Structure 1
Amino acid sequence: MARPLIGISSYLEDSARWGVWEAPAALLPVGYHRQVQRAGGLAALLPPDTGPDAAAATVGRLDGLVIAGGPDVEPARYGAARDPRSGPPAPERDGWELALIEAALAAGLPLLGICRGMQLLNVALGGTLHQHVAGHQGRPGTFVDHEVTPVPGSLLADLLSPAPLAVPTHHHQAVAALGPGLTATAHAADGTVEALELPSADGFVLAVQWHPEAADDTRLVEALVTAAGG
């Protein structure tokens, strides 16, 4: 049986270094594609493109989609004024990933959102974000572990047990008002929403606030690849 093709959205950086080179680059931490490969899928990186037509064409060639972590979502995307603590905007990536999410939902494509990917799923469906929460990030460039508790009976609880779970995290924004149709299916000890599901979706739609690609637990990506292979 053919291995499912899983697209992963990627960063677009003005400057990156490798070998003797320093230049603009599309890039992604290796944990994302390695987990897809370990789970039995083929990984394809998806740098920003333009418009809903490109997103629909891309989704039409995929078996599953991961919206990866990354920079803060532009507050104007959910009708908010900018908090001084929000990071610099990434308009190309915001527009591309929102178009990918909308195309994936319309096509019933299995979708996994990670950190920023969960926040964008919420925004795509009309939700809002807290622009700053404390206690969910360590030093720059590092992850910290904290506990999350899945909601009993949720898809997440079925996939990850026993609870609570210690997960790697690094974020300072979080889901505020839920987008219509979304259900919060995990929380941190301080009440922060740590997972979202779309029960009415035609297929697998799950998003988490933490970074599974930064750990050895591949169960979430395995579930995505399994759904994509169906």
Structure 2
Amino acid sequence: MHVSKPLIGISTYWETSARWGVWDLPAALLPAGYPRLVQSAGGIAAMLPPDEPALAEAAVARVDGLVIAGGADVDPERYGAPREPRTGPPAPERDAWELALIGAALASGTPLLGICRGMQLLNVALGGTLVQHLDGHVTSVGVFGRHPVKPVPGTLYGSIAPEATPVPTYHHQSVDRLGEGLVPSAYAEGDGTVEAIELAGGGGWVLGVQWHPEMGSDTRVMAALVGAAR
């Protein structure tokens, strides 16, 4: 019997210049690792470029699961903090769109996975704050590092990956004060940085991971999202 595959929406971002073939043009961009991970985990990937925030509810209603992808730093204005010198330039259009997508997913109970920036934005959406710079989670510019994360037993993430797991990392920010209803579900083995967060107490399938599963071969996190979306 044919089982229909769930449609997984993935947020993307505008770039003013991208090159392919003979072209150098503005583009809606998403690293190929994201849709490939969705596909290998049993889903159909749909790219969601920034749009009017008022349309987020309609967009989320058309997908079975949602991924908020990694990328630029969240604007500190979004969590009421002054900008620190090492915080990257703001991406206001993307912040507004993805915050609206997160709100729509939370309101509708659509399974939601935040990756790196997506985890940080989930925390901000629920009233949390961020550490604007920490060392040790980027080895060099443009190169993904790797370190183990330890799950918290009894959590959603702990049920997905019950053992300490090496993961691909590339981030210089992290969650500080947790947003309302969120609990930590994994920590970095080295410095104790919160590496995964989720909604506590049966608030639906909502998970944020600080690392980049799309840059590795472990499909368990995405397969769990696809399973929940199915």
TM-score bracket, shorter-length normalisation: over 0.9
2:37: which partner in 1?
35
Q: What does the per-residue CA deviation read over 1:65-117, in whole Å, with 9 as the maximum and x for residues that have no partner?
A: 00000000000000000001000100010000000000000000000000000
2:165: which partner in 1?
165
The percentage of aligned residue pairs carrying the same residue is 65
Q: What does the per-residue CA deviation read over 1:10-51, in whole Å, with 9 as the maximum and x for residues that have no partner?
A: 121111110111011111111110111111111000000012
Distance 1:102 1:96, change over 3 A: same
**Unpaired stretches in structure 2, ≥5 consecutive residues:** none
Asked if structure 2 preserves the Cα contact closer than 8 Å seen for 1:108 and 1:201, the reply is: no
TM-score (norm: length of structure 1):
0.97
Corresponding residue pairs, total: 227
Task: Give me the whole-angstrom Cα distance separating, in 1, the residues matched to 2:105 and 2:202.
Answer: 10
1:120: which partner in 2?
121
**Unpaired stretches in structure 1, ≥5 consecutive residues:** none
Structure 1 runs of 4+ with >6 Å offset: none
- Residue 201 of structure 1: CA displacement? 5.0
Distance 1:46 1:174, change over 3 A: same
1:179: which partner in 2?
179
1:190: which partner in 2?
191
Task: Give me the whole-angstrom Cα distance separating, in 2, the residues matched to 1:11 and 1:100.
Answer: 13
Q: How does 1:1-230 map to 2 (within 5 A)?
A: 1-51=3-53, 53-162=54-163, 164-188=164-188, 189-200=190-201, 202-229=203-230
Task: Give me the whole-angstrom Cα distance separating, in 2, the residues matched to 1:165 and 1:27.
Answer: 29
Q: What does the per-residue CA deviation read over 1:129-166, in whole Å, with 9 as the maximum and x for residues that have no partner?
A: 0000000012111100011111111111111132x211
TM-score (norm: length of structure 2):
0.97
Task: Give me the whole-angstrom Cα distance separating, in 2, the residues matched to 1:201 and 1:123.
Answer: 20
Greater CA drift, 9-18 or 99-108: 9-18
SS in 1 for 2:55: helix
Asked if structure 2 preserves the Cα contact closer than 8 Å seen for 1:105 and 1:201, the reply is: no
CA RMSD of aligned residues (A): 0.9
